[in-house]
Every structure is written in structure tokens, then in C-alpha cells.
Amino acid sequence: MLLGRDFMRAVRQIEQEKGLPMNLIISSLEAALVSAYKKYKGSSRDMKVEIDPAGEGVSVYELRKVAEQPSENAPEISLEAARRLGHDDAKIGDEIWVEIAPEEFGRIAAQTARQVIIQRLRDAERQIVYDEFADRVGDLVTGIVFKSEDSQVLVRINDRVDAMLPPEECIPGEKYQPGGRMKFYLLNVRQTTRGPRIVLSRTHPGLVKRLMELEIPEIKEGVVEIKGIVREAGARSKVAVASLDPNVDPVGACVGNKGQRIKSISEELAGERLDIVVWSNNPLQFIKNALSPAKVVKVEPNLEQDKAVHAYVRPDHHSLAIGKGGQNVRLAAKLTGWKIDIKALEPERMPTLHDLFADIIKKGND
């Protein structure tokens, strides 16, 4: 049965518009035509359909068993008929594919096939989208916001793929105006009955990491390594970095000339502040670094608690070490994995005459 040039032209148009490979379209069509033929004939027999794109033809086959006395109600064929069809090596009991009259594949079957074909092509397209993005979880993607209402933000990643940005993955206070182009962290992809569900994030620490890899060549090239990131999205992040090259300052590389590198990342994150600190395998030194920009005089283990320290700062750095609402010390604790107690270190002073006389009187009384 000929499919016709218009039919194959439509198939090639699907190939171009949907980005689906021709072999996938053809295999989907073949499976759909089998389903339609069975439904039309009310048959559950084993069938197969082969489409010849070049010849624009379709062949329908039924699996039949070679029998001495074929039954009309069973998918059987005589040995003589099998050999007439070119199966010269056929024996009694063999199963062979027999082409059946394509004319039986009438208008009703064709209409049914069209619906099944549409569904199968839709399923194939969804699977391709899923396969493409499932391998990209954790990557940075750029998208355009096309809907933002009632805390529902929808993002168009490309011409045929939409994703969602749930309320909990939005940066607090950030505006998502339709038409706005933004960068997102690809958080999750899962298959649903309605197709792939792609979830994005603007709050995940991975977004900071990917932006730094994009903006800072030393990180992308592996000269500077990100050891850890903690984040309170939209407000502040702390990033621990280390250099694999003694001649490269990891903090300077990340900040950039006049702070341009870190500034561009901050602007992408709605003005979020980024503290870049030097990682150390010495926990006490790392804690000291993590409390930046506060200047820490010394860090001592708290022997009464596991993984806890006292961090001593000058009185004028006490509030800076704690941060607004405790944010600085809270992020430092998350970054290092240690509980940090900030203490103001009273300035040392020389003893006065009053102190000396008081000490003499105390010793005399003793």
C-alpha cells in the first residue's frame, strides 16, 4: 500500500520541526499502524508493519505457523503456500512472516492509526526532551520567564521546552518579570504522564558554583578549587576556595580586578553578597577564615562540646563577626561544620598604682 508523497512530506516536516530522528518517527509509525490494524480487524495475532520511506510504501505482515492442515481460525499456513511465498527452507512447525493484502487496511484503520501516530510522536518527543535534560541535572541553564503569577513562575528554556521555578526555589524578594532572561540551576527532571517535569532553582548553592565556573577562568581550568558553599539566597553566601598553584591567590582570582568578577556574579543573584574565604585543612584556621570579614584574634576548642570552638575577636569586631541577625557566624558554622561561639576579647592593659596597692593589701591580709 502506498503512503503517498504528502504523507512522507508530513513525516519529514515532523522530523525538522520536532527535532526527532527519522528512524524514530518511522518505528513509531510502524508500531502505531500495527496497533490500528489489530483494532480494526479485532485481532490479537502477532503483526508487524514495515515502512519504506524511499518507496513511500507500507507492508503489513502476520506471523503464521506452517501446518499440514491449516486451520481457518488459527494463524497457520500450509507448507506449500509458504514455499510459494519464497520460504523454500520452511518446515512443518516453523513460524514465518506472511505479507497480507494491504487493501484490507482501510479508511477506519488509517484514521485510528493517525491518532495513535500523533500520540506516539508526542511520547517520543517527550522522551527525547527527558533524555536531554535528565543528563543535565546540576547544570546551569538560561531561560526566559513567560509566566509569573500566584507564586507560579514558568520558564522557557528553548523553543519546545518549558520548566517551572517553584516558590521555595525563588530568591526572596526577587522579581520574575515575563520576558526577563535569567540563569537557573537545573534541580530536577522527572517523567510524568504529561511529559517531563523540569524543575529549576535560584536558591541552590550549585547556582553560585556554576556562575563562578562561568565567570572565573581559574575555577573552570581547575587552578582554583571550590571546597564548599553555603548560602542564604538573596542575602549572603560564603564560598571556601583553595589554589592548586602556589602562585595564584584564590581569593584574588575569584574577586577579580577591582572586584568585577564577584560583582557580576552578585548582580546575577539579585545583589546577593558573596564572601570568598581561603579553605584550610586546619579546622581552627578554617574557622578563623570563615568568619571573614571579621578579624579573629584566636580560636580555641570548646572542650565541653564536640566540634565546638570559642572564637575571640576585638570588641569593635564583635558585631561584625556575628553579623546581622547572626548571619555571619551562622554561615561560617555551616561552612566549617563546627559550632562557633563568638567572644569579645577584652584589651590587655598595664597594671595601675591602684592595682598594685590592692594586690599588696590582699597579700598582707593573707
pLDDT at 259: 93
Boundary (domain end) residue, out of 97, 112, 132: 132
Q: How confident is the model at residue 357 (pLDDT cuts 50, 70, 90)?
A: low
- One domain for residues 52 and 110: yes
C-alpha cell at 113: 492509526
C-alpha cell at 273: 553578597
- One domain for residues 224 and 246: yes
CATH number at residue 164: 2.40.50.140
Better-predicted residue by pLDDT, 150 or 139:
139
Residue 270: CB partners within 8 Å, gap ≥ 6?
Answer: 171, 173, 174, 234
Boundary (domain end) residue, out of 97, 117, 132: 132
Q: Is the pLDDT of residue 21 over 80?
A: no
- One domain for residues 16 and 93: yes
Helix, coil or strand: residue 20? coil
Name beta bridge partners: 276: 239
- One domain for residues 250 and 340: no
- One domain for residues 317 and 251: no
- One domain for residues 50 and 117: yes
Name beta bridge partners: 190: 197
Better-predicted residue by pLDDT, 15 or 320:
320
Q: Is the pLDDT of residue 336 over 80?
A: yes
- One domain for residues 52 and 112: yes
Domain carrying residue 317: 282-366
198-246 residue pLDDT tens: 999 999 999 999 999 999 999 999 999 999 999 999 999 999 999 999 9
How many structural domains is the chain composed of? Answer: 4
pLDDT at 2: 45
Q: Is the pLDDT of residue 184 over 90?
A: yes
Q: Is the pLDDT of residue 300 over 90?
A: yes
- For cell 564560598, the residue is 239
Q: What is the rounded CA–CA span in Å between residue 59 and residue 138?
A: 46
- The Cβ-side half-sphere exposure at 366, using a 13 Å CA radius, reads 6
The percent of residues in the chain predicted with pLDDT above 70, rounded, is 85
Q: Is the pLDDT of residue 297 over 80?
A: yes
